[in-house]
Amino acid sequence: MIVQPKVRGFICTTAHPIGCRKNVEEQINYVKSKPACHVGKKVLVIGCSTGYGLASRIAAAYGSGAATLGIMFEKQASGKRTATPGWYNTKAFETFAEKDGLYAKTINGDAFSDEIKEQTISVIKEDLEKVDLVIYSLAAPRRTTADGTVYSSVLKTTGTEFTNKNLNLMNNTIAEATIPPASEEEITATIKVMGGEDWKEWIRALNAADVLEENAVTVAYSYIGPELTYPVYKNGTIGKAKDHLYQTSQEINKEWQNNGLQAFVSVNKALVTQASCAIPIVPLYMTLLYKVMKKHNLHEGCIEQITRLFTEKMNNHTFITDEIGRLRVDDYELREDIQQEVMKLWEQADTDTIQELGDLDGYWEDFYHLFGFAVKDVDYEADVDIDI
Ligand code: NAD
């Protein structure tokens, strides 16, 4: 089949298997070109198929020589429908890993469920015995808890409504957008989905089954961003969930300190991923941020971020944290000179100037790459087998 992108709003409904494979291969090559690290030998990545989780899996395998077990929620191709990009990424990763003698197995299913936790534990027991690093990198729109309740996360502010500039990526125009405040129920639901409760449930289950090595480490990913986006991010519903994630890291540290388990939140940079495209106001910030960071040669994608996290912030069990114990790879993004420049551009940005001021091309390039499109040396006119 010839596979072309079909973009609908924030999502592309098709994915290209060869483009996805190339992306994975490029990430592997990047990690191989960097110094090795020691972050774990048997690594569980929850949310392993795209974005930061995929980068973590690749960096653990090719940087730290780790056997990796991944958990994802992806769809296989069916009829004329392509698989999701995470499916193709994972198939490609497994093929490369096998060729390179690295253990790689993946469980496809709902990570929030007890069933997938149990399945994971039996695979660990059978194949790996124990794991020494657990990366928690889920970004999900909803979660069904054990009693059958479905919680949906929302991207809203809290308190009062918030109005600011917004970039409409469908026609590159800038207009004001107003984000309504969330209700208490919406805040609670977002915390249920994106907070730390499920992370802790994973750690509890892994501990109870005795499949965590002594002195194991667990890391969950978070974001803070600049003051400009505080109303929609840090002080919004998602920020409340991230506060909960941080509190959970403290709780895990207390509860399992006897096993030497250490839990961290790593604050990462804003990047175009399937999860972040949907947040209002953030895309305009990202196009300006990309422009400024590229100009200063400080721009990083997921793989550069995670490679730096593993090699510089948590290598050999030496953890470089901020004053409250968080790992930080958002340091370049939040550098004062970078933010000052971004704020200046923010003031000037409107429909007439955005093409020049913002890195729209870079944004779209990253967006298409997520689905395996616009990748160098891929023949998009060629027939491809979509059922991998
Ligand atoms: P992503 O959408 O690229 O990846 C999400 C992963 O979660 C995928 O592997 C997907 O298969 C998996 N997943 C989703 N629902 C699942 C379920 N029910 N069961 C099993 N797997 C499921 O997202 P991302 O941007 O890489 O985000 C990962 C984490 O990093 C999130 O916590 C996010 O908040 C954080 N983060 C993202 C950014 C950013 O700008 N993108 C910045 C900092 C931190």
Q: 287: CA distance to ligand 1 center in Å?
A: 20
Residues 6+ apart with CB under 8 A from 105: 68, 69, 70, 94, 123, 127
Closest CA to 61 of 95, 12, 22: 95
Residue for token pair 């990009």: 85
Mutational test site, ligand 1, from 112, 244, 276, 363, max ligand atoms within 8 Å of CB: 276
pTM for the full predicted model: 0.98
- The per-residue pLDDT for range 30-56, each reduced to its tens digit, is 999 999 999 999 999 999 999 999 999
Task: Report DSSP letters for 158-169, one per residue.
Answer: SSS-EEEEEEET
Q: Residue 288: which of 330, 213, 341 has the closest Cα?
A: 341
CA of 48 to the centre of ligand 1 (A): 8
- The single residue listed with the structure tokens 């006897």 is 258
Residues lining ligand 1, judged by CB closer than 6 Å?
Answer: 47-53, 71-74, 86, 110-112, 137-140, 221-223, 268, 270-271, 273-276
User: Could you tell me the distance, in angstroms and rounded to a whole number, from the CA of residue 383 to the centre of ligand 1?
Assistant: 31
pLDDT value at position 150? 98
Six token digits for residue 32: 């191989």
Strand 327-328 vs strand 262-267: parallel, antiparallel, or unpaired?
Answer: parallel
So what's the pLDDT on residue 27?
98
Atom of ligand 1 nearest to the CA of 222: 44
Q: What is the pLDDT of residue 170?
A: 82
Can you list the positions of beta strands (E) in 57-180?
67-72, 104-108, 131-136, 142-144, 150-152, 162-168, 173-179
Residue nearest to atom 6 of ligand 1 (CA): 47
CB 215 within 8 A of CB 261: yes
The C-alpha angle 87, 29, 81, rounded to 5 degrees, equals: 20
- List the structure tokens of 355: 């093409």
Scored b (16 or more CB within 10 A) or e, 162-196 reads bebbbbebeeeebeebebebbeeebbebbbbbbbb
- Per-residue pLDDT reduced to its tens digit, 304-324: 999 999 999 999 999 999 999
Distance from Cα 64 to the centre of ligand 1, integer Å: 22
The residue from 233, 285, 290, 368 that is catalytic is: 233
pLDDT digit of tens for each residue in the chain (388 aa)?
Answer: 999 999 987 789 999 999 999 999 999 999 999 999 999 999 999 999 999 999 999 999 999 999 999 999 999 999 999 999 999 999 999 999 999 999 999 999 999 999 999 999 999 999 999 999 999 999 999 999 999 999 999 999 999 999 999 998 888 899 999 999 999 999 999 999 999 999 999 999 999 999 999 999 999 999 999 999 999 899 999 999 999 999 999 999 999 998 999 999 999 999 998 777 777 788 899 999 999 999 999 999 999 999 999 999 999 999 999 999 999 999 999 999 999 999 999 999 999 999 999 999 999 999 999 999 999 999 999 999 999 9
Distance CA 132, CA 123 (A): 15
| Residue 241 CA, ligand 1 centroid: distance in Å | 14
DSSP 8-state secondary structure symbol assigned to residue 182: P
- Determine the atom of ligand 1 nearest the C-alpha atom of 238: 34
Task: Tell me how far the alpha carbon of residue 347 lies from the centroid of ligand 1, in angstroms.
Answer: 31
179 CB-near residues (< 8 Å, 6+ apart): 155, 156, 157, 161, 162, 163, 231, 232, 236, 280, 281
| Cβ neighbours of residue 61 closer than 8 Å, sequence gap 6 or more | 43, 67, 68, 93, 97, 102, 104
Q: Tokens representing 288?
A: 């300006």
Exposed / middle / buried, residue 202 (Cβ in 10 Å: 0-12, 13-18, 19+): buried
- Residue 179, both tokens: 């984000």
Q: Which of 44, 48, 52 to mutate to test the pocket of ligand 1 (most atoms within 8 A of CB)?
A: 52
Distance of CA 315 to the CA centre of its chain: 20
**Best residue among 10, 50, 265, 281 to mutate for probing ligand 1, ranked by most atoms within 8 Å of CB:** 50
Reply yes or no on whether 233 is catalytic. yes
